[in-house]
Structure 1
Amino acid sequence: MDFVAGCVGGAAGVLVGHPFDTVKVRLQVQSIDKPLYRGTFHCFQSIIRQESLTGLYKGIGSPMMGLTFINAIVFGVQGNTMRLLAHDTPLNQFLAGAAAGAIQCVICCPMELAKTRMQMQGTGEKKPSRKLYKNSLDCLVRIYKREGVRGVNRGMVTTLIRETPGFGVYFLAYDVLTRSIGFELHDRFMIPKLLFAGGMAGIASWLSTYPVDVIKSRLQADGVGGVNRYSGIADCVRQSVRREGYMVFTRGLTSTLLRAFPVNAATFATVTLILMYARGEGPKDCEEAQPSQLAPTQQEAQPSGL
């Protein structure tokens, strides 16, 4: 049931947050010499004006397919790891989340590569004069034919560096927050509390690893247009800091945090409610519920994707 709940929660999160993700990627990889966007809101306005509303949803096919499986893996692995660890402690929540984050990178990295390439395609054009990729799957197939397995997994190291501690912080923050605000089944503010805890957990996770995400996006976008600028992670960091200063690591942070709260609020609330209903702990049973019958992180310790 962890896996099913993760699938539904992932789909809900993608629908809510993809436009913000498109803005984040555009801001992260735009040229400092000829920037197209002045900031988050200008980027939103420009994309809608130049590429129509559908421009904000470019590349949604990849995360819609991938994040449903990613969330299934993340929530499934996290829940089962917590059961293996037996004790529901903050440290175990972090370790279970980190394990889940590391395992899902196998799907996450190629998915985000395709998403990034699709989001960059036709920048500033309502009807792109030349579409290199038809869709996310076509994008991955073309990259594989040209660069092999290594090309499809471009950015894997930075993805691992981001996802492993990021998911640890994600589940730890959610666990701490649900305990702190007193989440109980008979609480009439149960859903608002779930949304708040999930949203804040997402923000905490992104803040903990955001500089790595900037480098990952730049490496995965590198080569669009046929020009490769970076030879690796260290070279990307060096060039980025030399040309743009350390503030480069905050590029797109505003849109990311605006996206993080609603996406993760929707994801965690959806997953938690599905698991509660599956255990027969829905609203109709709330009057008889005991404080120990809490959200997944509080009882069997379940509850993830960015």
Structure 2
Amino acid sequence: MDFLAGCIGGAAGVLVGHPFDTVKVRLQVQSVDKPLYRGTFHCFQSIVKQESMFGLYKGIGSPMMGLTFINAIVFGVQGNTMRLLGRDTPTNQFLAGAAAGTIQCVICCPMELAKTRMQMQGTGEKKSKRKLYKNSLDCLLRIYNREGMRGINRGMVTTLIRETPGFGVYFLAYDVLTRSLGCEPDDPYMIPKLLFAGGMSGIASWLSTYPVDVIKSRLQADGVGGVNQYSGIADCVRQSMKQEGWRVFTRGLTSTLLRAFPVNAATFATVTLFLMYMRDEEEGKDCEPNPSRSLQQQQPQASSL
């Protein structure tokens, strides 16, 4: 049940937020010498004008493809970690979320690599505008054939650095907000409260790790034109700082935060409401779970792993 709820909630989040993610990646990796976009809204307009609305959904196959596995890992690990930790405290919520974030990187990193490469297709000079990849799976296969497992896992270290604390903050923030807002089953404002808590949790998570995401995107997009610009994480940080200053670590932040709120509002609210409905059907009104507890606090009752 948790597995199905996570898949439905994750799918809702991907559909809502992928256009914002495409804009974020384009802004993060564009050339500082010849920028294609002046900002978030100009990037949106340019993509729609040049590539139609479908351009905003480039690379969506990769996150959809990894959705089932990622949600199974996240919900299963988080639920089982909360069981092992025993007590439901804010610290344990953070630790359980961090554990889930760490484990799911195995799927997340290759998925985001394919997504980034697909999103970068058709950008830059005319010679690079031909389509290199048919779809996300074709992208991963081509990278594997050229670079092996190391190529498939490009950006793994930065993904770990981003996801481990990011998921900890994510689940901690949702738990604290739902408790503070006092969400109750008979509250007429329960759904708006869940949407607000989920959206703000997403924003808090991104703000806590965004500079690392910029470096990850640059490393995963490196080599798209056939030439590798960075030799590693430190080199990427050094070159980025030298060419663009500290503001490089905020590039695409507006698009990311605009995306984070609706995506995570949709994801958390969908999952929480689905679990409430299904458990109400199974257990009856007397055993109805309390939505003021975070989704992850409900997980140990029926973990997917």
Query: Which TM-score bucket, shorter chain as reference?
Result: over 0.9
Q: Shift of residue 41 of structure 1?
A: 0.2
The answer to whether structure 1 residue 146 and structure 2 residue 126 are counterparts is no
Report the Cα distance in structure 1 between the residues aligned to 2:83 and 2:278, rounded to whole angstroms.
18
In angstroms, what is the RMSD of aligned CA positions? 2.3
Q: Report the CA distance between 1:153 and its aligned residue.
A: 0.2
**Given residue 230 of structure 2, which amino acid in structure 1 is its aligned partner?**
Y
- How far apart are the structure 1 equivalents of 2:290 and 2:108? 36
Q: Which residue number in structure 2 is paired with residue 296 of structure 1?
A: 295
AA at the equivalent of 1:189: Y
Matched ranges for 1:1-306 at <5 A: 1-123=1-123, 130-280=130-280, 285=285, 294-299=293-298
Q: Deviations over 1:189-229 (max 9, x none)?
A: 11111100000000000000000000000000000010100
Question: 1:291, 1:218 → 2: CA distance?
Answer: 42
Give the conservation status (yes or no) of the 8 Å contact 2:169–2:205.
Answer: yes
Q: Rate the CA distance shift 1:2–1:289 in 2: closer, same or farther, 3 A.
A: closer
Structure-2 separation of matches of 1:137 and 1:26: 21
Contact conserved, 2:280 with 2:288, CA < 8 A, in 1?
no
Aligned length: 300
Q: Tell me the distance in 1 between the aligned counterparts of 2:65 and 2:273.
A: 22
Deviation at 1:294, TM superposition (A): 4.2
Structure 2 counterpart of 1:296, one-letter code: L
Distance 1:20 1:52, change over 3 A: same
Give me the TM-score of the superposition, normalised by structure 1. Answer: 0.92
Query: 1-side partners of 2:125 and 2:278: how far apart?
Result: 47
**TM-score, with length taken from structure 2:** 0.93
Partners of 1:24 and 1:255 within 8 A in 2: yes
For the 8 Å contact 1:183–1:295, the answer to whether it is kept is no
- What's the secondary structure of 1:241's corresponding residue? helix
Instruction: Tell whether the 8 Å contact from 2:175 to 2:294 is kept in structure 1 after alignment.
Output: no
- Per-residue deviation, residues 15-72 of structure 1 (Å, max 9, x unmatched): 0000000000000000000000000000000000111111000011001111232122
Q: Offset of 1:106 from its aligned partner? A: 0.3
The residue type equivalent to 1:196 in the other structure is: F
Q: Which has the higher helix share?
A: 2
CA distance in 2: counterparts of 1:294 and 1:164, whole angstroms: 22
User: How far has the Cα of 1:280 moved from its partner?
Assistant: 1.1
Q: Could you tell me how far apart the structure 2 residues matched to 1:132 and 1:119 are?
A: 11
| In 1, Cα distance between equivalents of 2:135 and 2:18 | 16
After superposition, the Cα gap between the structure-2 partners of 1:151 and 1:269, relative to the gap in structure 1 and judged at 3 Å, is same
AA aligned opposite 1:181: L
3-state SS of 1:3 partner = helix
Contact preservation (8 Å) 2:289, 2:298: no
| 3-state secondary structure, aligned to 2:280 | coil
CA separation in 1, counterparts of 2:106 and 2:30?
27
- In structure 2, how many angstroms separate the alpha carbons of the residues matched to 1:19 and 1:129? 20
Shift of 1:84: 2.3
The Cα of 1:76 is off from its aligned counterpart by 2.2
Q: Percent sequence identity over matched residues? A: 84
Flag the 1:243–1:6 CA change in 2: closer, same or farther, 3 A: same
